[in-house]
Structure formats: C-alpha cells, structure tokens
Structure 1
Amino acid sequence: MKKSLLALATLGVFTASAHAQSSVTLYGLIDTGLVYTNNQQGHSNWQMVSSSTQNTVFGLKGSEDLGGGLHAVFKLEQGFLLNNGAQAFSGSAFGSQAWVGLQSDPYGTLTFGRQFDAMNDLVGPLTAEFNTWGGSMAAHPFENDNLAANSVVINNSVKYTSPTWSGVTLETMYSFSNKAGDFANNRSYGFGVSYAMGPVNLAAGYLQFNNAGNGGGAATSSDTTANFIAERQRIWSVGGNYTFGPATVGLVWSHSQIDNAAGVFSFGTGTYLGANDSSAGTLAGSLRLDNYEVNAKYALTPALSVSGAYTYTHGAYNGSSPGWNTAMLQTDYALSKRTDFYLEGVYQNVHGAPTGSVLSHAMINTLSPSSTDTQVAVTVGLRHAF
C-alpha cells in the first residue's frame, strides 16, 4: 500500500512538472459603449460601438519550456465587433495576430507570422492612442503613423526582439511580399529602440511600406490593414514620458511621408476614401504629415483616473498646408482590476486643406467622416479584460 502511494505521489510530481513546462492561456478584451457624434456625413448620430479605445479581441497564447533558457511561443488573436459579432479584419480567422517563434532568455525572441511592427511595439505605448486611457478615438488623423494599438497588422513578417540590457530593448522586422519575381512589391520593414529605467521611458522607430495594399503581401486592402494605398509610406517617430507619483506626462513626435497616394481607409470603419469617393472627397499625390502630441494621465485614487492629450498635425499636400487640431479628455473608474467604465470626449478640427479632398473633412478615428472641417464625439463605455 505504501509503495502504491509513493508511486502515485511520484507520478503526480512528474505530471505537475510537465504542466509547469508548458502553458496555454485564453485571454481577451471587450470594449463597448454608446457614442454621440455631432456630424457624420452631415448628420448627428447616436450609435452603439465596439472598440472605441482598443480592439475587442480574444486569443490564445502559449509557451513551452524547451530547456536551457529556450521556449517555444505562439499567439493567435482575433478582433471582432461586439455589436454584431462580425470580424474586425474581414476574412481573417486570426486577423489581430497569428505568430509562432522561439524565445531565448540570453539571446532574445524570433517570431514569424502576422504581427505588429517594431515601431508600434516600442513607440506606441508612449502615446495616448495606444493606451486604454486614450485609445483608438484619440489616434492621429487617419492613423497616419501606425502608433495606435491593434490597427495595422503586417503579414509574412519575421521579427527579432532583443533581451533588455540596462533598460535598452531593440526590435527589428522584415515582411515579405511573397511574390515571385516581384520581391519588393508590397513589402515592409522597420526597427525600434526603447529605454526604460525608473520613471523614464524613451523610444524611437522607423517603418516603411512599399506599395501597401497592392494585392497580397505585407499590408493588404482586403482587410483594411493598409491604411494608405500608396507607392511608398515612410514613418519616423520618437517619444518619451516621465512618471512622478500618480502622474505621467509624455511627448511624441512622428513624421509620415506618403508618396503617390491613391486613397486611405477610414480607420476602424473599413470605409475606403479615394479618387472615386464622392461623399468625402479625393486623395491623390504626395502627402507629408508631422504629428506633435502631448499627453498626461493622473490617478486621483487607485480606482479613479483622468487623462488627456492634444495633437497638432501639420501637413503638406499638393501645394497646400493642411493642419489638424485633435484633443481628447477621458475619465475612468475601475470597478476591479479587470472591469472599468470610461467617459471620453474627442474634438478634431482641420484647416487649410484643399476643398474637395479627403483631408478637408474632420474624421475622428473609428467614426465616419464629418461633412465639415469639425467633428466632436463623446462616448461612455465599459471595458472588461479576461
């Protein structure tokens, strides 16, 4: 009897050890709310929305200990619209993320699949648009710099992330076009570097697309992950924030150069705005955009916080100099570590854009364009993470 109990106990130890070496986790974020907009295509609107701050997603992530500090890792994630259950990325089973790779404690992580780019990973967290305390509605005009969370996801990508050395982390990524005889057509590449030590966080990055949206490749138009349909898009960004007590303040600058643009997707709505669009004007030619963002967050209590951001975007387009003022203010109350309510208002005004172009219409991200140069939206929402 004692031998049987000993054998059973030994088996239990080995079983527990095996389970400790491998894990799979189901996770997700649900964001839903009611939005009032003063002008969407000439009309005021009340609507139920999903993903005003961050994409509503569910996913699986896992890790297996291979020994010697080496792990096999993966993530499969799908975004969806809570209103009707539709896919956020049309036609994609795991449109938000789908990758597998190897993680080495001393040498870093190498992953393969559909992923976020290096600049988004490292510079994005310093912006209001990346975080739940600002989110998608606070994104820079047309999400032109790819710094919002869960917006542009890149196919056929190989990404390397270094270990953190004295607060410094490096990332680099290359995404293949997968086209025989047309290697550079719809490819993407970029890199980023960050420094985090104590209250200081700094980061910088670069991202380039070649012929995004041109059939299959790194960024496609079929699932609207190619924000701009253009011959080439280059993005530089740098930012930093500083935390003192319950407050965090940040500054971010980004520069987007979009060559031979043919159109843009209305971020979050899947609406294409281009040369043949009669309701929101046209877009054709080269576009330059500089985004200057200042943001702040303050925790009034462990449960109650307030946050705000202001971005001025200066543009150059076919001899004109359009400019955008985008302001966001949010208050958030946490019922628990996983559930919270928020109230957020966003204001956008554009001036100096050519009449009849897409740029002359204010367009808060995730919403349909205004028929004028101004748009205001207020949303009250509920978030739950699991």
Structure 2
Amino acid sequence: MRKSLLVAALAVGFASTAQAEVKLYGTINFGAAYEQTKTTLYQDISNMYRDKEGKNALRAGTVKERSTGIKGSNITSSRWGLKGSEDLGNGTSAIFRVEAGFNPTTGKSTQGGALFGRYAILGLTGEKWGTLTIGRQYSVADDLVAFADVGWWYGSADSTIVGAISTRQSPTIKYLSPDLDGFKFGVAVLSGDEKTTEETPDGNEKITRNKRNGAAIGLNYNNGPLELGAAFEYNREHKGKSDKTNHAEDYNRRIKGWSVAGAYDFDVVKLHLAYGQQHDGVLGTGDYMGILDYFLDSYYVQKENKSLVKFKTRLNSRGLRTKGWFTGITAPVGEMGEVTFTYQGGRVKHSDFDTLRINSQIYELAYQHKLSKRTYIAFVGAYGETKFKGKVLNGNKHGQFAKVKYKDFRVGLVHRF
C-alpha cells in the first residue's frame, strides 16, 4: 500500500514538472573587426556648435579614426536569458521571459546596468486566442514588420529607419493574435508615470515628473513566398522640473512613427523591402538615431539663452522628420551558406533648422556559413556615407559643412545555446 502511494506521489510530481518548463538560452559572439571613420569639415560654424566649455568645436579639416582588434558582439549582440511556460489547461499557458545583454570581453551589462534590459515579460498564451504580455519588450513593429531587416551591423535597417521598425519599451502591454488564415495583428499600450520630490536646504521643493504613454497597432500577412507587414506607433513623452518660483520644461514630445515591409522568396534569391518615417521625435530610447549617433554625439548647440545640449538631443523634438528605406537580398550558397546584400538610405530634417539636411546611404555585403545547427561564422563588410548640410539658428552662415564616410569589415564566430 505504501509503495503504491509513493508511486502515485512521484507520478503526480513528474506530471507537475512536465507542465512547468524553464529553458536557459543565449547567444555569444567573438571576432575581429576593422573600422574606419573619416569626417571632413568644409566650413567653420563656430556660432552654431560649441563644446562643453563653450569653445569653438568645428573647424575646417579632416579627422580620420581607425579601430582594429578582437571584439565581442561584433556580429550580433551577445545575450542570455530564461524563458518558461506552465500549462494552465484548456489550451492556455502562462509564460515568462527575461533576457540580459552583455559584453563578452568584459562581462558587463550592455543595457546601462539593467539586469534584464532586453526582455522582462509575463503573460498568457493560447493557440486559439493569441498572446498577451506585459513588461519590457519589443514593439509591435518588431513582431510584424522587422522580418524584412536582414542586415547585420551597419547594414541593419535600424541604422536609418531607427525606432520605426523595432524598439524596446517598458512598461508595455501587448497583444498578438494567432494566425488567421495567413493574417496576424497586434496592439500595444505603453504607460509610465514617475514623480520625484526633493526638499532643498532653503525649504523649497523641487519636483521632477516623467511621463511616457502611447499606443501601437500592426498587421502582417504571410502566405507562401509572400510576406507583408505594416505598423503605426504613437508615443507621448514629457519631462519637466518645477519648484515654487520657477518651472522649466525639459521636453514635451508627441512622436509618430510608421513602417511598411515586404518580402518575396523566388527560391534562388529572396527580396526584402522596408520603409519607415518618424515625426516630431525618435521612438524608443529617446536619443538613438542610428548611424547618426557617432557624428551627432560629438557636437553641441545652444539656442538663445538656454543650456548647452547635444545637437542630437536638440533634434529629438517637435519638427523632426526622418525617412528611411531598406532593400535586402539573400541567397543560399550550398546547404550551409548564405550570402546577403543590403542597401539603405535615410533623410533627416527639422523645421527649427531652416536648411538642415542629413542624407545617409549604407551598403553591406555578408556571408554566413553554418558549422552546425547552433554555431556559424560570418564575414561582413560595409560602406556608408553621411552628408550634413545646415544653417545657424540665428545667423547667416549656412551651406554644406560635413561629410562622414564609414568603412567596416568584421569576421565573427557565433554560438547559440
């Protein structure tokens, strides 16, 4: 009798374990890279740009930077995570996923110190009704449009299309439908509100308010060799500081972004196309502008009597318009290889800068060779060019003043576990 009870208890225990599954997964990448950036300045625009000390930051001339060496995450982002599910019955399961990015050369986080900066979600899923998740996660566009992005490093579509095609946000509630005869749709709601009150020695109070909310919707159609997708996202971002005698608004953005994509498999080659726009700001992290980060991070602008800020931050406001387009071709090479060629272009302008025009174009050629189901080696080469043309806010100096050229070659070994 006791033996029968013991066997029954063990059977129940194993059944419970079978219903709750947790999996450790990840990707790690090491390799070598050669990068060269050449910036040519055509005009002294010292009235527009200044460094942190207020001194002139730009002068006519050429600056060339090279970097060569062994690097981690030089082909794809290294990350590790845990994901799991529990069967709740009636075709429904509880799911969770947490994922952290790391630099394999140092072991440090690549998400600004956040433990699970890539993913942190909890939700429910069912084959018949879809998936509902809440937490830090990718946008609807990433689920329904980003399939067209077959680029690797500089050639990735977010270099010019940026947040319109894929971005992470939190806290987000997202619903993705099941497959409906080839169609899928998704909706998401972003909501966040923070308030910090600080009492100063003189008895005054300083209040900082951060608000982020928004919504997104997307649609995807996948039937045989053809796949199509579209998404639209709206974000409201507000940050302000106030006290009893003064109020200073840091920013107040109403950002709109949309993207469309398509892919068609001709068997011999597969064609990928994508296009996206952003208005009145940049979706996602708030200051990521793709390939322009390298250039714009170095320069500062001062408007009227306001504080000195990075020019990139100044652009991320009402009046910003970005456009990006992407073309990619993939073709199999034998059973274990694949070659990829991509081209993309982008344009940026801002209504506060009358003649501002930033035009970028990037070409990339890559070859991936599988060594096993989980391990592959990749060779990636890219060339890009950005032309910057602008005008001083309250002055009469204008004209083309900068050109940036990028050259990049990298080889890397990638293992998925």
TM range (shorter): 0.7 to 0.9
Secondary structure at the residue paired with 1:91? Answer: coil
Alignment of 1:253-272 (within 5 A): 253-259=275-281, 264-265=287-288
Secondary structure at the residue paired with 1:119? Answer: helix
In the alignment, which residue of structure 1 is the partner of 2:173?
158
In the alignment, which residue of structure 2 is the partner of 1:109?
131
In the alignment, which residue of structure 2 is the partner of 1:329?
365
Report the AA paired with residue 291 of structure 1: G
In the alignment, which residue of structure 2 is the partner of 1:147?
165
| Aligned with residue 208 of structure 1, among 225, 234, 247 | 234
Cα pair 2:159 2:291 within 8 Å, conserved: no
Report the AA paired with residue 165 of structure 2: L
Cα pair 1:138 1:346 within 8 Å, conserved: no
In the alignment, which residue of structure 2 is the partner of 1:374?
405
Residue 112 of structure 1: CA displacement?
1.0
In the alignment, which residue of structure 2 is the partner of 1:197?
223
Aligned mates of 2:291, 2:97 — CA distance in 1: 23
Residue 109 of structure 1: CA displacement?
1.4
What do you get for the CA RMSD once the two structures are aligned?
Answer: 3.4
Secondary structure at the residue paired with 2:342? Answer: strand
| Aligned with residue 127 of structure 1, among 125, 144, 149 | 149
| Structure 2 CA distance for partners of 1:11 and 1:265, relative to 1, 3 Å | same
- Verify: 1:79 aligned to 2:101, yes or no: yes
Aligned mates of 1:201, 1:135 — CA distance in 2: 24
- Verify: 1:96 aligned to 2:118, yes or no: yes
In the alignment, which residue of structure 2 is the partner of 1:365?
none
Aligned mates of 2:2, 2:362 — CA distance in 1: 71
Larger radius of gyration: 2
Q: Describe the superposition over 1:354-375 as per-residue Cα deviations: whole angstroms up to 9, x where unpaired.
A: 2899xx99xxxxxxxxx84211
In the alignment, which residue of structure 1 is the partner of 2:31?
33
| Structure 2 CA distance for partners of 1:268 and 1:74, relative to 1, 3 Å | farther
TM-score scaled by structure 2? 0.74
| Structure 2 CA distance for partners of 1:202 and 1:28, relative to 1, 3 Å | same
Residue 243 of structure 1: CA displacement?
1.4
Structure 1: 5+ residue stretches without partners:
216-228, 362-370
Aligned mates of 2:298, 2:186 — CA distance in 1: 33
Cα pair 1:177 1:183 within 8 Å, conserved: no
In the alignment, which residue of structure 1 is the partner of 2:41?
none
Structure 2: 5+ residue stretches without partners:
39-62, 196-206, 241-250, 303-308, 394-399
How many residues align structurally?
Answer: 350
Cα pair 1:297 1:306 within 8 Å, conserved: yes
| Aligned with residue 328 of structure 2, among 261, 282, 295 | 295
- Verify: 1:348 aligned to 2:412, yes or no: no
Cα pair 1:52 1:136 within 8 Å, conserved: no
Residue 265 of structure 1: CA displacement?
4.0
Cα pair 2:161 2:275 within 8 Å, conserved: no
Secondary structure at the residue paired with 1:176? Answer: strand
Residue 11 of structure 1: CA displacement?
5.1
Report the AA paired with residue 408 of structure 2: A
Report the AA paired with residue 234 of structure 2: Q
Report the AA paired with residue 58 of structure 1: W
Cα pair 2:33 2:411 within 8 Å, conserved: yes
TM-score scaled by structure 1? 0.80
Residue 49 of structure 1: CA displacement?
2.9
In the alignment, which residue of structure 2 is the partner of 1:232?
254
| Structure 2 CA distance for partners of 1:344 and 1:356, relative to 1, 3 Å | farther
Cα pair 1:26 1:58 within 8 Å, conserved: yes
Residue 164 of structure 1: CA displacement?
1.1
| Structure 2 CA distance for partners of 1:348 and 1:333, relative to 1, 3 Å | same
| Aligned with residue 188 of structure 2, among 165, 173, 177 | 173
Residue 351 of structure 1: CA displacement?
2.2
Residue 236 of structure 1: CA displacement?
0.7
Q: Describe the superposition over 1:288-338 as per-residue Cα deviations: whole angstroms up to 9, x where unpaired.
A: 222121101111111111001101213333333332111111001110010
| Structure 2 CA distance for partners of 1:191 and 1:32, relative to 1, 3 Å | farther
- Verify: 1:138 aligned to 2:156, yes or no: yes
Report the AA paired with residue 264 of structure 1: D
In the alignment, which residue of structure 2 is the partner of 1:273?
297
Aligned mates of 2:29, 2:92 — CA distance in 1: 35
Report the AA paired with residue 21 of structure 2: S
Aligned mates of 2:181, 2:210 — CA distance in 1: 36
Residue 39 of structure 1: CA displacement?
2.0
Q: Describe the superposition over 1:109-128 as per-residue Cα deviations: whole angstroms up to 9, x where unpaired.
A: 11111111111221112112
| Structure 2 CA distance for partners of 1:54 and 1:187, relative to 1, 3 Å | farther
Q: Describe the superposition over 1:47-91 as per-residue Cα deviations: whole angstroms up to 9, x where unpaired.
A: 333333432110000000011111110001100111111101012
Aligned mates of 1:332, 1:353 — CA distance in 2: 37
| Structure 2 CA distance for partners of 1:309 and 1:376, relative to 1, 3 Å | same
| Structure 2 CA distance for partners of 1:123 and 1:154, relative to 1, 3 Å | same
In the alignment, which residue of structure 2 is the partner of 1:188?
214
Aligned mates of 1:171, 1:380 — CA distance in 2: 36
| Structure 2 CA distance for partners of 1:126 and 1:29, relative to 1, 3 Å | same
